[in-house]
Amino acid sequence: LAVLVLLAYSSYLVADGLELSGIVSVLFCGIIMAHYCWYNLSSESRSSSQELFEVFALTAETLVFVYLGLALFNVDAMVF
């Protein structure tokens, strides 16, 4: 389970080190991991990894919407 997280994060670090897009790197890493890693995991690891990445996705989505909500109160300070 830790290897899956480290693999995704290492692809981001490599892309960032090469000054490329980290988002695209993680996207393609996820596609490759879904194709190759998913079938090589045990059923327990599959369910654990799916729950872990769902928690990561929910946390990231919540942080984005909280940030956007807080930025709404700062509209007066923006210069257009």
Write out the chain's pLDDT in tens, 80 residues.
Answer: 788 888 888 999 999 999 999 899 989 998 998 888 888 889 998 899 899 989 999 999 999 999 988 887 777 766 66
**What is the number of other CB atoms lying within 10 angstroms of the CB of residue 53?**
16
User: What is the value of pTM for the model shown?
Assistant: 0.70
Give the residue among 32, 42, 36, 60 at the shortest CA–CA distance from 1.
Answer: 42
